[in-house]
Structure 1
Amino acid sequence: MTHQMNLAHEPFEKIKSGTKTIEMRLFDEKRAAIRPGDIIVFTDLETKQALSCAVRQLYRYPDFAELYRYHDPVSIGYNANETPHPDDMLSYYTKEQIAKYGVVGIEIQHL
């Protein structure tokens, strides 16, 4: 199955270069349909460029704090010199959404 997702320019470029290998999202209805072996086509919101990735694995957690605990900061999109913090994800999702759905780390490989 093929899924469509939009991304800001910086994370798009990190996936394209191979440094970001885990996309973090709410585990909502749309993400619950994703399975290993599926394809995700990411669209850069700035350039409209598309990038196809294979889903390798899904990692479900109750919140982003747990996800951050188990994954390398660079793999989830941080630069090596940045200090990761789960509250960074509150710019995308509310605490209520996170509590309702939980979160998922989608391990991907650029095709």
Structure 2
Amino acid sequence: MRLNPLPFKMIASGEKTIELRLNDEKRRKLNRKDLITFVNTEDSIKTITAEIIDIYKYKSFKELYADLPLLKCGYTKEDISNAKPEDMIEYYSEEQQKKYGVLGIEIRVISLQNKGE
């Protein structure tokens, strides 16, 4: 899975432990204990391998935001008061959310790689 630099850094540091995604065909194949490789979108030699601890399924990000701890989803103490489900429309349209539903994928980092080293 591709990740922008900020969420990539937050996962690498352990600050973000739940990745939010659309529950599309690709993600429906995911199960607990599967390994995911995250690739930094600005530096593809940087990768994170993570194990899936749990998968939380919702109809929409509105439901997800009401249920999951947002500090584990990539928000910080500084921006948590402004967190809202509409933030995810930048990535997934309301139509996509209605069609597929959404996921909170709880992960544990296994390894960090910088393939250039």
Q: Shorter-chain TM-score category? A: over 0.9
Match of 1:78 in 2: 75
Structure 1: gaps of 5 or more residues: none
Structure 2: gaps of 5 or more residues: 111-117
Query: 1:44 is matched with which residue: 36, 40, 54?
Result: 40
Distance 1:108 1:75 in 2: 10
CA contact (8 A) 1:73 1:80 kept: no
Identical columns (%): 41
1:36-80 deviation digits (Å, cap 9, x = unpaired): 000000000012101000000000000001111111121000111
Deviation of 1:105 after TM superposition, in Å, equals 0.4
1:5-54 deviation digits (Å, cap 9, x = unpaired): 00000000000000100000010000000000000000000121010000
User: TM-score scaled by structure 2?
Assistant: 0.89
CA contact (8 A) 1:58 1:105 kept: yes
Q: How does 1:3-82 map to 2 (within 5 A)?
A: 5-48=1-44, 49-82=46-79
Structure 2 letter corresponding to 1:33: K
CA contact (8 A) 1:7 1:42 kept: yes
Deviation of 1:102 after TM superposition, in Å, equals 0.4
SS in 2 for 1:29: coil
Count of aligned pairs: 107
User: TM-score scaled by structure 1?
Assistant: 0.94
RMSD: 0.6
Structure 2 letter corresponding to 1:97: Q
